[in-house]
Amino acid sequence: MQPNDITFFQRFQNDILAGRKTITIRDKSESHFKTGDILRVGRYEDDGYFCTIEVTGTSTVTFATLTQKHAEQENMTLDELKSVIAEIYPRQNQFYVIDFKCL
């Protein structure tokens, strides 16, 4: 079986498949993705494959510069986004935004 290139928490699967979640915000360990990359996507909990995405852009952001637009692209409110980022990446400030579309 082919390994997945990137994983998402299962709770985001339906939003990704429906096109409601079009970015992901990651830490330095996942800063190597670049525009044009085609990635197999799995669920974090069981690594089960559920779609393929194309990276359509990348950028950097700090916790303080997260915006309403980022939140909309994540299909959540800005407060929810900041809470999720703080929970996943405690005490980190520099992040990498990966824009994507499902193929």
Whether 72 sits among the annotated catalytic residues: the reply is no
**Which among 7, 22, 24, 58 is annotated as catalytic?**
24
Annotation says 74 is catalytic: yes
- In our burial notation (b when 16+ CB lie closer than 10 A, e otherwise), range 20-37 reads ebbbbbbeeeeeebeeeb
Whether the Cβ atoms of residue 66 and residue 97 lie closer than 8 Å to each other: no
Name the catalytic one among 7, 22, 58, 74. Answer: 74
Rounded distance, CA 8 to CA 86, Å? Answer: 16
> Which of the following is catalytic: 7, 21, 22, 58?
21
Residues catalogued as catalytic: 21, 24, 74
